[in-house]
Amino acid sequence: MKKVHNFSAGPGILPAEVMKQASEACINFNDLNLSLLEISHRSKDFEAVMDEARNTIRELFGVNEDYSVLYLGGGASLQFGMIPYNLLRSNGKAAYLNTGVWATKAIKEAKMLGDTVVVASSEDKNFNYIPKNYTIPADADYFHLTSNNTIYGTQIKQFPNSPVPMVCDMSSDIFSRKVDGNKFGMIYAGAQKNMGPAGTTMVMIHKDLVGKSDRKKLSMMDYAVHIKGESMYNTPPVFPIYVTLLTLRWLKKNGGVQWIEKVNQEKADLLYNEIDRNSLFYGTAEKEDRSTMNICFLLHKTELEPEFDKLWKEANISGIRGHRDVGGYRASTYNAMPIESVKALVEVMQAFEKKFA
């Protein structure tokens, strides 16, 4: 079987050893002669998985047990509503930074639940940059931002010092670089881009934020209920949580976030250097805000797209077509992406230039 270079934006690539371990657990988990898919989520074997997964999140973010870690269903999109539902008081105010589609959706949900202000937006240039020099209102209940913008290929390089609890959607760059979790009141991420398969969302929230809202809450939408139940108020998404744990183990074994940050920067530099050098391509995001996870680029001559498509498909490259809002191409170089795959794409781009420049 020929190797496929998987640049999918999500669900994204996972380490090969994680896939192997996960498949084995589906047949025989922990030598129980039972599948992970059929054991009780309240068994000691799975409780150990949940405990290790939560503790590893805290370890990698460098936080203590003042932060609760949850694994929930509903994707990051459910958190767009749960955050204001739990953190926005009836007479309070929420502040948001708008840097793309997912931030826009989060703002829409917050506006349904209370006063919501947008401190800055990059919509004026189709979200190809990260706004700077904005003011976060000191009377806001929280400030929400999105660390990496999958569709537009931009990334916040330096997080602000917020006068209010900072809430961050890290779905597409979680654990791709060193981040001090203590700067945030809450961090959340859908697992399916950089941490595991689709089906679970990690929420890490400081305990001081829990119970601040004065609204009556549905149990399934209440962080306090999920914290008390240790992510088992209802049956959790068992398999995605386990695969996420395997991925976190893989990351730790190889040197942790410090190791993968260097690898990710090397991959990004390799591809961005080719985009900037190659006469047929150009990048879409402002250089200072370029994402190391989602690298977006276009052809100067769009009529050549069918020819380029033919070449990268022949090279067993998959998943690099750009999102419809940007067009062109998007190479997602998540943690598990080997540099050999990036080199394969660069070689195709160079061959394409020789043929058509």
Amino acid type, 322: G
Task: Calculate the alpha carbon distances from 222 to 134, 178, 294, 357 in Å.
Answer: 31, 30, 33, 58
- For residue 279, the tally of other CB atoms under 10 A from its CB is 9
Q: Is 193 a catalytic residue?
A: yes
Beta strands at 5-6 and 317-318: parallel, antiparallel or unpaired? parallel
Catalytic residue among 141, 169, 222, 289: 169
Task: Calculate the alpha carbon distances from 152 to 127, 290, 325 in Å.
Answer: 6, 9, 8
* Phi, psi torsion values for 281, nearest 5 degrees: -125, 160
The region that residue 75 occupies, defined by phi over 0 for left and psi between -120 and 50 for alpha, beta otherwise, is: left
**90: exposed, middle or buried (C-beta count within 10 Å: 0-12, 13-18, 19+)?**
exposed
Catalytic residue among 102, 173, 222, 289: 102
Catalytic residue among 173, 193, 222, 267: 193
Q: Is 169 a catalytic residue?
A: yes
CA distance 201 to 90: 26
Sign of CA dihedral 97, 103, 104, 110: negative
Q: Is 66 a catalytic residue?
A: no
DSSP string, 252-292: HHTTHHHHHHHHHHHHHHHHHHHHHH-TTEEESS-GGGB-S
* Phi, psi torsion values for 214, nearest 5 degrees: -95, 5
Q: In this structure, are residues 157 and 289 in contact, taking their beta carbons and an 8 Å threshold? A: yes
**Which residues does the annotation mark as catalytic?**
102, 169, 193
